[in-house]
């Protein structure tokens, strides 16, 4: 007598379970297309170039935070030599006026929850 059938069936079930996340993702349950961001219409250039901002905006914001709160510096000189006021609600939101259409889009996609807006207030008129 052989257990060949049971073993093969068991293996198939095991493999199906182990590889389930792959099938699930391929099944298209989650939309994996990149978020559609609303870009500012009245400005073409961010404080740094787009690739840098996409990858490092969180570090830049931390630098700005420390500079403003701890050292009392307000002026940022970008790598191209332009001067900007270091302010999340003043400078960033001045162009990216709708944070739900910009910040939140990406943060939801990346499943990160920065606490900026727990305290910071969107300027009126946005």
Partner 1 sequence: MEETRRSFLRKAACGGVGLSCGFPLLGAACSASKHNGDGEGSSSTQWAMVVDIRKCLQEDVHRACIEACHREHNVPEIPDLEEEVKWVWAEEYEHVFPDQTHAHTQENLKEAPVLVLCNHCTRPSCVRVCPTGATWKREGDGVVMMDMHRCIGCRYCMAACPYGARSFNWRDPREYVKKDEHGELPSDYPTRTIGVVEKCTFCAERLRDGRQPACVEAVAKVPGGAGALTFGDVTDRNSEVSRVLRENHTICRRVSLGTGPKVFYIV
Binding positions for partner 1, rule: CB under 8 A = 65, 69-70, 72, 74, 89, 115, 118-121, 123-124
Q: Shortest distance, CB of residue 88 to partner 1, whole angstroms?
A: 9
Nearest residue to 105 via CA among 33, 30, 25, 24: 33
Q: Which is nearer to partner 1, 5 or 72 (CB)?
A: 72
Q: Shortest distance, CB of residue 52 to partner 1, whole angstroms?
A: 23
In the chain, which ranges are E strands? Answer: 75-77, 83-85
Q: Which is nearer to partner 1, 110 or 121 (CB)?
A: 121
Q: Which residue has the tokens 């391929």?
A: 26
Q: Which is nearer to partner 1, 50 or 120 (CB)?
A: 120
Q: Shortest distance, CB of residue 96 to partner 1, whole angstroms?
A: 16
Running DSSP on this structure, what letter comes out for residue 100? T
- How deeply is 86 buried, as exposed, middle or buried, from its count of CB atoms within 10 A (0-12, 13-18, 19+)? buried
Q: Shortest distance, CB of residue 7 to partner 1, whole angstroms?
A: 56
Q: How far apart are CA 65 and CA 73, in angstroms?
A: 10
């Amino acid at each position: 007598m052989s257990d060949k059938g049971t073993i093969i069936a068991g293996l198939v079930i095991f493999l199906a379970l182990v590889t389930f996340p792959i099938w699930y993702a391929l099944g298209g349950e989650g939309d994996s297309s990149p978020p559609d961001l609303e870009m500012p219409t009245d400005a073409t250039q961010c404080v740094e170039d787009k690739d840098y901002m996409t990858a490092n905006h969180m570090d830049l914001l931390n630098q700005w935070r420390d500079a403003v709160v701890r050292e009392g510096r307000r002026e940022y000189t970008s790598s191209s030599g332009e001067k900007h006021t270091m302010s999340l609600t003043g400078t960033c939101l001045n162009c990216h006026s709708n944070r739900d259409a910009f910040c939140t889009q990406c943060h939801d996609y990346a499943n990160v929850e920065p606490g900026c807006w727990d305290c910071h207030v969107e300027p009126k008129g946005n």
